[in-house]
């Protein structure tokens, strides 16, 4: 699977859309406290805005039950010079983040099926791509777009968003904080030509963010950025939403199933019985 070609821009203006995972099930068991992680992210966002006065930062919070915009530097009002308090980026973002976490928790309590353990990555990724397209089509500037445990039930939605980003030449950078690698984010960065990084020293998270992810697309052609040792291209079956190595593929709609079915649940095509002298499963890599 070929990665997206690099896209050159005539200016140095950057649009950075950050998807901030607020999943409490992950952060409650992770070694790095969420507050400390957030301090690294705020320093990184401030550094992006300092690099160019026309740079724009958008932050989308991703929860277990919802996702929402919590900060947009283009519409933020900087009142820190008058009040002498912390910058508007920190105060506005922290306030809206707290409201989002509370609202997302209430939505989980109303869910009769129980609280989900995976984050709505597909929803926040789709929101980010929609925002980038809006800037491209209506904004006067032409910025450079950049952008927990995987939830197999979101596989189709996430892959659709990844291919949309690839078609729009929007690289997706991934900074993964979990103990294991994320197959979804690995595929997203590889396919779109972005950077996937799993920091080894969490105390130096800001250094990772500022030296790897803050680099604009034009400068990346001159730098040797870290590359993933391997990419997990395993897919999730459409029937049980489980990650599989081998499976059955519908020849009409390309839906993937872990077991043989008489009929495709997606398009309704009727399958024939697998022959005994040929492999009954197709490699989905």
Identify the three-state secondary structure at position 21: strand
Fold for the domain defined by 15-222: Rossmann fold (3.40.50)
Question: What DSSP letter does each residue of 23-87 carry, written as one string?
Answer: -HHHHTTSSS-HHHHHHHHHHHHHHHHHH-TT-EEEEEEE-SS-EEEEEETTT----HHHH-SS-
How sure is the predictor about 112, in pLDDT bands with cuts at 50, 70 and 90?
Answer: low
Written as one string, the DSSP assignment of 132-164 is: HHHHHHH-SS--EEE-----GGGHHHHHHHHHH
- pLDDT digits over 175-200, tens only? 887 767 777 888 888 888 888 888 88
The model scores a pTM over 0.85:
no
DSSP state of 204: G
118, 150 contact by CB (below 8 A): yes
Instruction: Output the CA torsion 140→127→250→237 (10° steps).
Output: 150
* pLDDT for residue 59: 93
Where along the chain do the CATH 3.40.50.410 domains lie? Answer: 15-222
- Predicted confidence at residue 153, as pLDDT, reads 62
**pLDDT tens for residues 38-91?**
989 898 888 888 888 788 889 999 988 889 999 988 876 554 444 434 466 778
């Amino acid at each position: 699977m070929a990665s997206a070609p690099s896209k050159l821009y005539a200016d140095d203006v950057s649009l950075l859309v950050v998807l901030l995972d607020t999943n409490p099930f992950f952060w409650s068991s992770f070694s790095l406290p969420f507050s400390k992680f957030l301090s690294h992210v705020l320093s990184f966002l401030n550094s992006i805005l300092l690099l160019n006065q026309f740079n724009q930062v958008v932050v989308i919070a991703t929860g277990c039950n919802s996702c929402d915009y919590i900060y947009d530097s283009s519409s933020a009002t900087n009142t820190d010079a008058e009040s002498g308090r912390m910058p508007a980026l920190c105060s506005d973002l922290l306030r809206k983040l707290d409201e989002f976490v509370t609202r997302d928790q209430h939505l989980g309590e109303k869910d009769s099926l129980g609280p989900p353990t995976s984050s709505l990555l597909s929803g926040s990724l789709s929101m980010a791509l929609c925002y980038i397209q809006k800037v491209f089509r209506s904004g006067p500037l032409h910025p450079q777009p950049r952008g927990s445990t995987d939830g197999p039930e979101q596989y189709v939605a996430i892959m659709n968003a990844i291919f949309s980003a690839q078609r729009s030449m929007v690289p997706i950078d991934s900074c993964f904080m979990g103990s294991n690698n994320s197959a979804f984010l690995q595929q997203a960065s590889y396919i779109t030509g972005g950077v996937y990084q799993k920091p080894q020293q969490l105390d130096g998270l800001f250094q990772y963010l500022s030296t790897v992810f803050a680099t604009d697309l034009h400068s990346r052609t001159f730098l040797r950025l870290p590359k993933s040792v391997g990419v997990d291209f395993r897919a999730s079956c459409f029937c049980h939403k489980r990650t599989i190595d081998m499976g059955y593929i519908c020849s009409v709609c390309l839906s993937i199933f872990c077991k043989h079915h008489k009929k495709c649940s997606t398009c309704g095509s009727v399958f024939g019985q697998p022959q005994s002298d040929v492999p009954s499963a197709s490699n989905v890599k």
